[in-house]
A and B are shown apart, each in its own frame.
Chain A
């Protein structure tokens, strides 16, 4: 990401890291800081943008920046252990270095949403791109008419960012609704699928923007249910996740119809998305 070569990454040091979830496909969050102070100062990203993070010798992966710029001069990435690169990332600890290039893609139009109620509906690792919206709204509460967050996962152990939700319930204009698929002992929140929880909460579409990220099957039913609740296509946003390599619209692989998800996306309003062939492939 030097001025004349967008493929050259910056180096960043892991300042802190922790596991969000366990199991084979565990999710680890890395808090990183750029080594170069000039990059630290000049870097700016918006909620919804991503970065190519990697390990030299292993490769790079596109990962959502899971923090809001309002949180400070660091970046957070929550990475699910999948294949080559994400496994290599999982081996890293505080003090180790990763490569970062970006920020890439468009973003959630949070500025256009000022004055509105924000409804986020997330599932599993899908909360990673939504978290920056939540944090952004929390940091600019006077500018928004409130935030409702619905977040679900298979089990309580599969929910990310758990410690962060408690304070939300203390504020009138913020509400957080957690759900898990299957009943568990000591679970005081909802049990059931995310799309059903959305219907049960029955949020009014007036002056509201709904944003949803999660597994494709969840998104499909959430979209259906948002329509049932009376949300218009323009009020609904989601992100696409296609296989990526370059992140800058060159390597060709991330297209959904005529859209390059790495540049034209990953954020799309449903009004745009519904006309993109392959979007739900």
Chain B
């Protein structure tokens, strides 16, 4: 795979070339950074920590039409999905997350929506040089320069960018912007290695998950679940904004005769999630729901797919309104083992 250099002066031109391709990049939307379409000529700055809303919506939209129908008419129309998409500035943790949940979307039944969108999207990553306060990617199999799930990875070397192709899609992007790029050299590689070693050293939070997946079942009735969930208000932020959370609800929407069946993000932190019509709820309190969230990520998913379903992006910690902290929960779990 090729590695190329892009002088920062050429960055606007590079972006312009990509806007021809349905380009999305981090933009400020109100007070939150999220991925949004970039218009031609619009500037893209990579000077941000991470987006508040993860880019998972590119492959798993918050609401997605599964099919349309006319009420009373026994015909189903599947939506066309053929628009390619380039995401620019994806953090390595979020790209890893997409790869991790792809395992579930391929498990036995292929999920056509997820897999098609995954095929249509090109992920251009940005290696982290200033990890956030609550990042712990390197504890859970990631790194500030992990290329897992990405098609192309960009390193910010100060006055120039180093572009490394990871997949054929990334290779294609390089080929298409070739006239703006120059060959990489030893000094660039050296600068990159130094930059990444420094970035890694800046990660302050760590999780020692050794023994946790196997140990969690034994802690089922442990009092820790009650105490770590005591202040939870059940808002669902930790799961909505988690790049690996993939749970969804399915609902029908009808306007006049036109109907659609769609799926939308859901959260296991909501009371209704497991509520039966009879009133019976298999996870009646926040204790059970928090226990499920941690078990799902650090036990069940590991059991089924051999990887922890948490990439250490820190969002659930940064954004929980009552400061519930997964690193702290995992520390308590470890202590209780």
Contact = CB atoms under 8 A, between A and B. Distances in A.
Nearest to A82: B277
B105 A250 contact: yes
Interface residues on A, range: 35 or more
Contact of A56 (B69, B78, B109, B268): B69
A33 interface: no
Interface in B318-337: none
Interface string A182-201: 00000000000000000000
A11 interface: yes
A83 B270 CA distance: 19
Contacts of B251: 59
A257 B300 contact: yes
B101 to A, nearest CB: 10
A57 interface: yes
A59 B109 contact: no
Contacts of B261: 56, 59
A257 B216 CA distance: 11
Nearest to B284: A281
A176 interface: no
Contacts of B252: 56-59
Nearest to B274: A243
A8 B67 contact: yes
Main SS at interface, chain A = loop
B276 A253 contact: no
A251 B266 contact: yes
B304 interface: yes
B74 to A, nearest CB: 5
Contacts of A256: 282
B274 A253 contact: yes
A246 interface: yes
Contact of A251 (B67, B249, B300): B249
A56 B258 CA distance: 10
A251 B263 contact: yes
A72 interface: no
Nearest to B258: A57
A258 B303 contact: yes
Interface of B: 66-67, 69, 71, 74, 76, 78, 104-105, 107-112, 217, 220, 246-252, 254, 259, 261, 263, 266, 268, 273-278, 280, 282-283, 288, 292, 295-296, 299-300, 303-304
20 contacts: A6-B109, A6-B112, A7-B66, A8-B78, A35-B74, A57-B71, A243-B273, A243-B275, A245-B263, A246-B248, A249-B107, A250-B107, A250-B109, A253-B266, A253-B274, A255-B296, A256-B282, A263-B108, A278-B282, A278-B288
Given A56-B259, A82-B277, 5 more contacts: A6-B111, A59-B261, A243-B275, A249-B108, A257-B217
